[in-house]
Amino acid sequence: MKYDQIDKALFIKNRKKFMARMKPKSIAVFNSNDIYPISADSTMPFKQHSDILYLSGIDQEESILLLFPDALDKKYRQVLFVRETNAHIAVWEGAKLDKEQARSVSGIETVYWLSDFDKIFFSLMTESEVIYFNTNEHYRQAVETQTREDRFIIKTKDEFPGHQVAKSNPILQEIRGEKEKEEIDLIKRACEITEKGFRRILGFTKPGIWEYELEAEFLHEFIINRSKGFAYTPIIASGNNANVLHYIENNKQCKNGDLILMDVGAEYANYCSDMTRTIPVNGRFSERQRQVYEAVLKVKNEATQMLIPGASWTEYHEEVGKLMTSALIDLKLLKKSDVDNESKDWPAYKKYFMHGTSHHLGLDTHDYGPIKTPMKANMVFTVEPGIYLPEEGFGIRLEDDVVITSNGDPVNLMENIPIEVDEIESLMNG
């Protein structure tokens, strides 16, 4: 790992929160992700499953966390299983965590090699009545691949048919949504790295540059600041490419007079940042581009102030829709008659702003967190309105990462990343 080791106190707190919500005589098991094959002897880079990472800090493959608050022997109330390391593995792959290192990272005293899992798991299941399975129930998930977690569930249901089944996900959605201070600090660190990348490209951008060159500049800056790289696949979309919401080819040349929409974020210690900025290729906004840009920025700033404890997710998005409707009328993109005759299911503003305004942010870019209950302090949300104008050859989206606070005054973790028109033009022409 490139990042500094996270204080184990975070993971101790996270486990305590999860275990306090478990049913009596229940066991919860969390598996690491697989290393996925590509072809021949190649594999995709390993990315740890967010849930076992959140609860243990263990950032390597073939690891299992077991939580059993009512275990008769106290040492089995929190158990970590890690891949046994040896000299051969150290030479070919690099050393893995030994047991003492696993204790230091996680704060869990009872650590075994993975080969001991089946025997210990069977013994503990004889004491328990309920097994928590960690299924993926994120509202945006669309997974077709069978995971290590899936295989564990199938095997356990077959071997222990008499146990009741419970779900880890509702607990995780609740507790992962409200961030600890340490987590907010890590997200802020990721935002600071993203800022370095953005400032780097402001002085690099000019007519004739290629989108992939800008992507490379971001990546360079991220990695030299101890990030693994992008928190998600970057979008570097010049001209009309900005009107494709998930444009990721990044293979076009940037032309004089065009805008570039960049949806880019660094990760740090597996925590994500998520930024969008839109800048002029030649360093100067046209009058029309500035007009639309200022409208988007105004909606973003006003939407940010709505992120307060007790706010409703649904009502928040409805209110942002009203702000955008007003902005589009001012821009003469909508007429009052368009709004009067709009469909309730697809408001008129959706023609130009068709995606959501915010999502939870954390260990995942679209992080866990409740959306059917009121917002709470220490939740972290993106704020990302946009206006997309294919007929005019450009689209503008602006996005920051914001912490809800108990006093109702949201904290923008990206407040130092240039966003005002005059500052961007000054930095690009300085």
Q: What is the pTM of this model?
A: 0.96
Query: pLDDT (tens digit, 9 = 90+) per residue, 206-245?
Result: 999 999 999 999 999 999 999 999 999 999 999 999 999 9
Q: What's the pLDDT at 140? A: 83
Contacts of 418 (CB under 8 A, 6+ apart): 198, 199, 202, 277, 424, 427
Q: What's the pLDDT at 59? A: 96
9-176: what CATH class? alpha beta
Mean of pLDDT values over 58-66: 96
Count of CB atoms within 10 A of residue 124's CB? 19
Mean pLDDT (the chain) is: 96
pLDDT band of 144, cuts 50, 70, 90: confident
Q: What's the pLDDT at 91? A: 62
Q: What's the pLDDT at 23? A: 98
pLDDT at 133 over 80: yes
Q: What's the pLDDT at 55? A: 98
Give me the amino acid identity at 356.
G
Q: What's the pLDDT at 90? A: 66
Query: pLDDT (tens digit, 9 = 90+) per residue, 179-196?
Result: 999 999 999 999 999 999
Contacts 24+ apart (CB under 8 A), 329-337: 330/295, 331/291, 331/292, 331/295, 331/387, 333/387, 333/389
Residue 358 corresponds to which tokens in the numbers above?
A: 């915010």
Domain-wise residue ranges, the chain? 9-176, 181-429
Q: What's the pLDDT at 143? A: 82
Please report, in angstroms and rounded to a whole number, the separation of the first and last CA atoms in the chain. Answer: 37
181-429: what CATH class? alpha beta
Q: What's the pLDDT at 376? A: 97
Query: pLDDT (tens digit, 9 = 90+) per residue, 33-59?
Result: 999 889 988 999 999 999 999 999 999
Spatial separation of the C-alpha atoms in residues 197 and 211, rounded to whole Å: 14
